[in-house]
């Protein structure tokens, strides 16, 4: 083989997959979630896969980046990052809406670079016959633990048949949802997406979960739906019940104020989502746990950099999830396997989907964990028939940008986005 692997082509394919009506602080999930599949081909016949968001602005930047990277060596990741940064100069990229990562303009390059880096690592692993986790320093765990990710939800999207999960709008239904998810996947930790109902009702749901699952670590994430005083009240009420409280109130200043009185650690994937937000966070002690996400922290190597910073400053580390497919789960699993400083089970939306673009059989949950693939690269293969089907679904579904708030307002015209709401 030559000492270089040249990129001969990059294909970016937007896809849409069915998504239940999951409720959150800014509205409700639309009937389809959007993702983009990145496939890189090389002059030696090796291919690699990446996955990312598929909102229109992001797709445009991905296309520009793909053209800029064609012809480069798949090992030249630093040069690729620089080329993307140069090509995006002046493009703030502060678009996207709802809970699509809630990204600031500071991480535009990281967001665009990430899926290309993952695909290149997939190719590198195949070239040397080693899994991606080995390219990141080697796995320190054979299995990666994930948490049951619970949502308040409607029984169905308006006009559609009820989905298999059914309605969940009170504590009893949330407990039933958790029981079903844990029975199916074996999760040993639980996270509830809050910010939907009045805080008293969400406190009741957490207490009901504690009664039903006395040994499971519990987390609550209201996505900054509460004021500082409300956050104080909820934290006090759930002292000794929650493992961590995620983004109770907006902004680092408010989070720091809550942290000074909170009996449990505060976690975030909202007020620290880019490297330039770490220093003020540490200075204010605004959070104690950072939820990493390679999709907007710049890929797998830069997520390892984030881990080192967190370890240096005594911050815990977990992993954030958005609605995703199997390429992302594979990348998340390799990254988590090779990250010693991983303090908590990772998030995943995996149980909420029933479609994918990869061949089945590689990624499976047992006792709430995914075994790390040991085959070369990410260890997964693209299902081209499924990719074509989900791309056609993207073309026909009519959605081009995630908009939880807009969807809610179309269904309930009186709905208004407020942060904090309580």
Q: Please give the positions annotated as active site.
A: 193, 320
Task: Indicate the helix (H) or strand (E) that contains 422.
Answer: none
Say how far apart CA 240 and CA 203 lie, in whole Å. Answer: 13
- Comparing CA positions, the residue from 237, 250, 321, 247 lying closest to residue 287 is 247
Longest distance between any two alpha carbons in the chain, whole Å: 64
Residue with tokens 């509460």: 226
**What φ, ψ does residue 161 adopt, rounded to 5°?**
-70, 150
| Contact partners, residue 342, CB within 8 Å, separation at least 6 | 307, 317, 318, 319, 336
Tokens at 121, concatenated: 């690592």
Query: ∠ CA 188-193-199 to the nearest 5 degrees?
Result: 115
- Residue 343, classed as helix, strand or coil, is coil
Residue 127 near residue 40 (C-beta atoms within 8 A): no
Report the 10 Å Cβ neighbour count for 177: 22
Give the ranges where 10-152 is alpha helix by DSSP (H): 56-69, 77-87, 108-128, 132-135
Torsion of Cα atoms, 361 then 319 then 407 then 251, to 10°: 180
Roughly how many angstroms between the first and final C-alpha of the chain, as a whole number? 62
Residue 17 near residue 390 (C-beta atoms within 8 A): yes
β-strand pairing of 7-18 with 32-42: antiparallel
């Amino acid at each position: 083989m030559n000492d270089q692997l040249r990129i001969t082509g990059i294909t970016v394919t937007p896809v849409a997959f069915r998504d239940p009506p999951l409720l959150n602080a800014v509205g409700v999930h639309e009937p389809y979630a959007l993702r983009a599949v990145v496939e890189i081909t090389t002059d030696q016949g090796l291919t690699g896969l990446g996955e990312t968001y598929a909102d229109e602005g992001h797709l445009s930047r991905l296309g520009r980046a793909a053209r800029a990277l064609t012809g480069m060596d798949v090992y030249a990741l630093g040069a690729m990052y620089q080329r993307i940064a140069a090509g995006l100069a002046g493009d703030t990229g502060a678009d996207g809406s709802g809970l699509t990562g809630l990204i600031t303009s500071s991480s535009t390059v990281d967001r665009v670079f990430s899926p290309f880096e993952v695909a290149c690592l997939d190719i590198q692993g195949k070239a040397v016959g080693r899994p991606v986790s080995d390219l990141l320093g080697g796995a320190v765990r054979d299995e990666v633990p994930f948490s049951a990710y619970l949502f308040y939800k409607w029984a169905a999207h308006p006009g559609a048949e009820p989905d298999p999960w059914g309605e969940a709008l009170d504590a009893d239904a949330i407990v039933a949802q958790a029981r079903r998810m844990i029975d199916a996947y074996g999760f040993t930790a639980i996270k509830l997406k809050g910010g939907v109902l009045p805080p008293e009702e969400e406190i009741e749901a957490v207490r009901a979960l504690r009664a039903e699952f006395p040994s499971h670590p519990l987390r609550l994430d209201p996505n900054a739906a509460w004021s500082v005083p409300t956050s104080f009240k909820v934290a006090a009420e759930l002292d000794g019940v929650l493992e961590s409280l995620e983004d109770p109130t907006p902004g680092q200043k408010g989070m720091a104020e809550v942290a000074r009185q909170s009996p449990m650690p505060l976690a975030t994937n909202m007020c620290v989502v880019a490297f330039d937000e770490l220093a003020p966070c540490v200075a204010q002690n605004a959070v104690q746990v950072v939820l990493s996400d390679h999709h907007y922290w710049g890929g797998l190597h830069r997520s390892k950099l984030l881990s080192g910073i967190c370890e240096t400053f005594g911050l815990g580390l977990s992993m954030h999830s958005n609605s995703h497919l199997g390429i992302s789960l594979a990348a998340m699993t390799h990254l988590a396997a090779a990250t010693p400083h991983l303090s908590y089970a990772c998030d995943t939306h995996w149980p909420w989907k029933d479609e994918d673009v990869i061949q089945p059989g590689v990624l499976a949950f047992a006792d709430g964990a995914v075994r790390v693939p040991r085959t070369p690269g990410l260890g997964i293969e693209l299902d081209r028939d499924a990719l074509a089907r989900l791309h056609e679904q993207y073309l026909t579904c009519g959605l081009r940008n995630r908009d939880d708030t807009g969807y809610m307002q179309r269904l309930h015209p009186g709905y208004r986005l407020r942060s904090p709401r309580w």
